[in-house]
A = this chain, B = another copy of it.
Amino acid sequence: MLIFTEEEIRKYVQINDEVIQEVEGAFTDLQSKNVQMPPIMRVDIPENNGEVDVKTAYIPGHEMFALKVSSGFFNNYKLGLPSTGGLMFLINALNGQPEALLYDNGYLTDIRTAAAGAVAAKYMAKEKVHTVGVIGAGAQARYQLMALREVRHFKEINVCGRTKKRLLEFKHEMEEKLQVKVTIKENAESVVKNSDIVITTTPATEPVIQSEWVQPGTHITAMGSDAEHKQELDPEILRKANLYVCDVISQCEVLGELRSALEQNIVEKTDGIVELGEITSQKEMARKKVDDITVADLTGTGAQDTRIALYAYKKLTEEK
């Protein structure tokens, strides 16, 4: 079994067009191949405000598949440790042997999550985007913007978040890295009303975006909700949207924005909800009109993990 460290993985895998294509391929695989993707396994450790999730997916035609263990321990800041961590295994699909351990501390999850946002925006957002709004100023907010840059040429970023210091760091870093103007907004309302694309990257458990703020033509990618108690969007937004897309409907029903909307009977399962893989399979713009409101609900899939892990393995072994 080969073992790769986060440092090695960061050296060989960065957000770029190849990575976005891999993740797009994962969504297409989910539609077109007999992917074996069991429900997410989860262990809660409430006394330590922690959870460990396991995701996996075997995609026929690949020699290996990933099994990912990821953790979120939200008191870790008190210990001076990052909240999230994780690693992936690549398991040989012919004989079951572990072939590689990608000890990435969650880096590949960050990359594949951001890439999914870019895949959604590629097919769902307006072609011409001036301003992107982001709720939250953490690592995933940065990665989402870097990935989005591969598919849309935006000029400005609006951001809001809880801590002034983190917002200033975010502004400084993103202005330098993406060569765009970053404006720190007072609140989410101001971000949403003044952005063509809005990305939510929070661990919120109550809506951070209200339906009445959402302007015609907006595309929203909500990637924060990945657990039964999380929620970022006012469920009315799902009814208001001209197009609402799940990464995987069965996951979004339990973990995503769809959960609250179904519970409150704001949408029904029969309301023409689309999976992202249906869109990527067709390779056509899913947005019909420039003024449509579109929403992507991303909970994170084992298929993405398998595709990004295979990509990382290829890069790591071909370069050595």
Contacts and interface: CB of A to CB of B under 8 A. Distances in A.
Interface stretch (A18-26, A65-73, A151-159): A65-73
B96 A50 contact: yes
Contact of A36 (B45, B76, B98): B45
SS of A interface (majority): strand
A118 to B, nearest CB: 28
A36 B41 contact: no
Contacts of A76: 95-96
State the number of copies, please. 2
Which of A1, A43, A81: most chain B CB closer than 10 A?
A: A43
Interface string A79-90: 101001101010
Contacts of A93: 45, 48, 50
Contacts of A94: 48, 50, 73, 79
A318 interface: no
Contacts of A50: 93-96
Contacts of A85: 96-98
B103 A91 contact: no
A103 B71 CA distance: 21
Interface string A48-84: 1010101011101000010101011100100101001
Contacts of A43: 36, 38, 56-58, 65, 67
A1 B71 CA distance: 15
A91 B65 contact: no
